[in-house]
Chain A
Amino acid sequence: MHTHTLAELSLLLSTKKISSLELTRHFLERCAHYQHLNAYSLVTAESALTEARAADEARQQNRTPLNALLGIPLAQKDIFCTQGHRTAVGSKMLSNFIPPYDATVIANFKQAGCPMLGKTNCDEFAMGSSNETSYDGPVLNPWATDCTPGGSSGGSAAAVAARLAPAASGTDTGGSIRQPAAMCGLVGLKPTYGLVSRYGMIAFASSMDQGGPMTQTAEDAAMMLNVMAGFDEKDATSVQQPKVDYTKTLNDSIQGLRIGLPKEFFTNDLNDDMHRALDEAIAVLKKQGATFHEISLPHVSLSVPVYYILAPAECSSNLARYDGIRFGYQCSDARDLFDLYTRSRSEGFGAEVKRRVLVGTYVLSSGFYDAYYVKAQKVRTLIAQDFHKNFKDIDMILCPTTPTPAFKLGAKSKDPVAMYLSDIYTIAVNLAGLPGVQVPIGLLDNKPIGMQLIGNFFSEARLLNVAHRYQQETQWHRHMPTNFEPTNGGAK
């Protein structure tokens, strides 16, 4: 049951070959059996079963309209507030936080009738590229358990890769959906900034944070996005766009599609095996009529420096709300108010979060603000302009998602800059607010690798169409890590 895609499960449920309750029980068994992966910070078995019964009842009574995902249990990144269920976003600071409301993304999935299996582990406040900064402990990559699953949405990636959930939500500020999806062999979509509501999504860097799906296939990502995307008046940056059915155009022809290959990303620095896999993926798309053109993104190499000014600046501002008083962790026996603030934050935040708060405080401090923050926003404009100039002549961009497959646990945790560079191909997309989708294209040393397709604003339907057409001709998305089937409980 767990090897099915969302599209297949939707058909099995609608033809009543399985029930939501059976399906949900099956995935909960798998969550329990493979808990050593640490993919979940919290499994919400009891409420999941209640929600599954409600979904079966809704289908039985044929309450319309029935969402295509009705009854399919999902995993939600522990960054989305869930009413009545702890939402800790990998931090000691929020380890006792039970939100009094649902994030819009969670409310949308509830409305669609998707039971929530649990909350997936992630880097603390989504700050990390390996899931090792989580207060809930590191997540193991199902493809190689001595490796990280990537991050920050590492728990979601590991859960879907090991089929502890058929799909999951993630969030992406600098690559946190696409990079772990690449390292775990999944499709991961970072939508256009403003397409998916940020209401109830714990803030890290608000000008870049964006929620999106992590799935086995492009078709599944389209089904998830249908539920996740939409205008929300509760998010001031939510964009009013006509509602799109992202599944409708999946099979459209890609004949004549113009795809750009940025010369800055296809240099000698790119691993030979990655280059070869990308060439093979390009050949598959060429065969279907796409044409490829070398392009230039002259400022893209500045993405990492720009990001590590802006993201810490926004993080230091956003995380100022954690004062130990209104919610979250409070230190004991505070001497005075300053001591209460300082010790609550020092004891409640982990090392990477503190590092970013300090860098953010530095670049925003008097005397440095213009040289760092304003300058970075200007270079960000240049980076975005490079994309927009190219989108006059091409329809989308193809490039690697990550420089390497999944790396070993602990390999980069002592060197923050080495860790930051693992997002070298994904960060520019967040700075420019564009959509990007990661698609699995091969295995290297038995670990997945992927390609990234980057489109213009609101081109998610076209990106998923190209990804889907690629998956019609290839089988990489069907590969599953070994040792995760069947469960001892006999669930198949």
Chain B
Amino acid sequence: MHIEEDYLKQLGVLARIQLSGSDLAALSKQLKTIIDLVDQISSVPTDHIEPMAHPVPDQFQRRRPDVVTESDDHERLLALASRHEADLYLVPEVIQES
């Protein structure tokens, strides 16, 4: 399947990845070879086959009681951010005055 460059740009928007004009043609070609590879599964009969939910039978993702188990770590975690102030992450202005 061919992925049109316009559609690829739209994927970039969804994935928050900027695609420059020069990248688009090469990437479109590479994605085509990958999609052609994965399209091999389309002809496999899978009626009545359950999609795998967990690789190990009878296992499931455990849940834990909804109680606080971690200590307050916000200072150490905030310190990892590029910009923060007054215990808040700083981002560019989102709501602007009209």
Contact = CB atoms under 8 A, between A and B. Distances in A.
Contacts of A410: none
Nearest to A385: B49
Contacts, number: 157
A358 B31 contact: yes
A335 B92 contact: yes
Given A325-B81, A325-B89, A358-B8, A308 B37 contact: yes
Interface in A380-438: 380-382, 384, 416-417, 420, 431-434
A379 interface: yes
Given A336-B92, A361-B11, A362-B35, A341 B49 contact: no
B30 A326 contact: no
Nearest to B39: A305
Interface residues of B, number: 49
Interface in B60-78: 61-64, 73, 76-77
Given A308-B34, A417-B33, A365 B14 contact: yes
What interface size band does chain A fall in?
35 or more
Consensus secondary structure, chain A interface:
helix
A375 B46 contact: yes
Given A337-B94, A378-B46, A381-B51, A365 B11 contact: yes
B92 A324 contact: no
A285 B88 CA distance: 62
B55 A432 contact: yes
A41 interface: no
A293 interface: no
A285 B13 CA distance: 55
Interface in B1-55: 3, 8, 11-12, 14-18, 27, 30-31, 33-35, 37-42, 44, 46, 49-55
Interface stretch (A172-180, A343-351, A477-485): A343-351
Contacts of B46: 375, 378-379, 382
A354 B37 contact: no
A417 B34 CA distance: 6
A57 interface: no
Contacts of A100: 73, 76-77, 79-80
A309 interface: yes
A302 B41 contact: yes
B93 interface: yes
A37 B37 CA distance: 34
Interface string A257-278: 0000000000000000000000
A80 B82 CA distance: 22
Contacts of A375: 41-42, 44, 46
Contacts of B15: 316, 345, 357-358, 360-361
Interface string A322-339: 011111001000111111
B59 interface: yes
B58 to A, nearest CB: 10
B56 interface: yes
Contacts of A379: 41, 44, 46, 49
Given A326-B89, A358-B12, A375-B46, 18 more contacts: A207-B55, A236-B61, A238-B62, A306-B41, A308-B38, A316-B15, A325-B89, A330-B82, A337-B91, A346-B18, A354-B17, A360-B15, A375-B41, A375-B42, A376-B38, A381-B50, A417-B37, A457-B56
